[in-house]
Amino acid sequence: MTAVVPPVPLDPSQIRAELLAWFDASGRALPWRLGQEGRRDPYRVWVAEILLQQTQVARGLHYYDRFLEAFPTVQALAGAPVEAVLKAWEGCGYYARARNLHRAAGLIAADGFPTTYVGWLALPGVGPYTAAAVASLAYGEGRAVNDGNVRRVLARLYGEARPTENWIQAHADALLSPTRPGAWNEAVMDLGATVCTPKAPRCATCPLSAHCAARASGTPTAFPAPKVRTAVKAVQAVAVLIGDERTAVLERREGGLLGGLMGLPMQELRESGTTQNALNALCKRLNARPGELLGQITHSMTHRQITLHVYVAASDLPRQTVADAALSRLDHKALGLLQRRQEGLFAMPLTGGSSV
């Protein structure tokens, strides 16, 4: 598929005026948008942008409110133990974001908030998108954001089926409002989230429909073309529940996705290995006695599909209070097997997924 020609020549000043007028009338009232453009609370904007990187706004509002209640200021966040930060982040997934947020809070508490794109970009866990978002929304700096919503809106507006990152950034920069950069960034993102949606765009209500090449083509959802997805890797693992849903033996996980979280002791099956061999190796490491199969769950984790076989085990190892620990959804689902057995659903497979 090749690019199509917009039905009306694109005039940046007209595009800005029409979209900003729509945004002023129809923009979402989100809690981190409180305050005058370019003078918003950088802490609230920063937390929101980090949290929403892999979470839809409708779902993220709950997590945002919960996190801000636990850590209302950057000083509170910096002074908290990382375990408390991970607990407050529980359910959001991609826990490296929480760890980087905590590290960056320590730097900000010591040196103050950055006021420029370059300053934000130097913080742990802050990439070009987040730096541009905070710099424009909180300080009024002229930086265009580039995320999935922006990519879709611009690809459809210009009729570009396969936009590259450089193409998106160049066109976002060209359209950026010089007088209201923060509002412009929010307007494009709101348009993509509420009108120019991936599968069912509401073209009839779009303020830019007269200029949109994708709409003129008759197949707006063809723009942009779907990205080639990374193949999902199937992983088999064994976990043991020593205790119950209230107190259990937990271990601190390592790695990029679950690093820092607590979870049931777990052992991945080696190539050509068996569930029994993995269970025996895990129990030997724990000096535990394996028991019966509690059940099986499947769980999606960023290009991985995990099948987890959960067994009961006995050990003298100290137990922890489950409610006080930061656990992934994988572990919450594993613990839920005990309740399901008590309800007469023993060993029934449980499926589902998450971005954890």
- Would you state the pLDDT for residue 350? 42
> Strand (E) positions, the chain?
233-241, 247-248, 251-252, 262-263, 266-268, 289-301, 304-314, 320-321, 353-354
- Would you state the pLDDT for residue 231? 85
Q: Residue 25's pLDDT band (boundaries 50, 70, 90)?
A: very high
What mean pLDDT do residues 157-184 have?
A: 97
- Would you state the pLDDT for residue 356? 39
Kindly state the percentage of the chain with pLDDT values over 70.
93
What mean pLDDT do residues 236-245 have?
A: 95
The answer to whether the beta carbons of residues 214 and 152 sit under 8 Å apart is: no
Question: What is d(CA 23, CA 194) in angstroms, rounded to the nearest whole number?
Answer: 11
176 and 263 together in one domain: no
**Given 49, 90, 160, 186, the catalytic residue:** 49
Overall number of domains in the chain: 2
Select from 222, 248, 275 the last residue of a domain.
222
251 and 299 together in one domain: yes
216 and 243 together in one domain: no
Question: What is d(CA 328, CA 333) in angstroms, rounded to the nearest whole number?
Answer: 9
- Would you state the pLDDT for residue 178? 97
90 is catalytic: no
We report the CATH number of the domain holding residue 192 as 1.10.340.30
- Would you state the pLDDT for residue 272? 65
Residue 3, domain member (yes or no): no
Q: Residue 64's pLDDT band (boundaries 50, 70, 90)?
A: very high
Q: How high is the mean pLDDT of the chain?
A: 91
What mean pLDDT do residues 351-356 have?
A: 43
- Residue range(s) defining the domain that contains residue 127: 12-222
Residue 343, domain member (yes or no): yes
- Would you state the pLDDT for residue 344? 67
Select from 222, 244, 261 the last residue of a domain.
222
201 and 237 together in one domain: no
Q: Is the pLDDT of residue 4 over 90?
A: no
53 and 113 together in one domain: yes
Window from 4-13, 129-138, 222-231 with minimum mean pLDDT: 4-13
Amino acid (one-letter) located at 346: F
What mean pLDDT do residues 53-59 have?
A: 87
Kindly state the percentage of the chain with pLDDT values over 90.
78
- Report which of 290, 284, 238 is spatially closest to residue 265, judged by C-alpha positions: 238
What mean pLDDT do residues 81-101 have?
A: 93
146 and 183 together in one domain: yes
71 and 47 together in one domain: yes
Question: What is d(CA 101, CA 314) in angstroms, rounded to the nearest whole number?
Answer: 38
204 and 318 together in one domain: no
Per-residue pLDDT reduced to its tens digit, 258-303: 778 899 999 999 876 899 999 999 999 999 999 999 999 999 887 8
Distances (CA, A) of 253 to 74, 144, 263, 266, 271: 26, 37, 7, 9, 21
User: Three-state SS for 55?
Assistant: coil
Q: Is the pLDDT of residue 247 over 80?
A: yes
Select from 192, 222, 252 the last residue of a domain.
222
- Would you state the pLDDT for residue 213? 95
pTM for the model stands at: 0.85
194 and 256 together in one domain: no
Residues 6+ apart with CB under 8 A from 176: 142, 143, 144, 184, 185
Distances (CA, A) of 294 to 32, 47, 190, 339, 341: 44, 39, 45, 10, 7
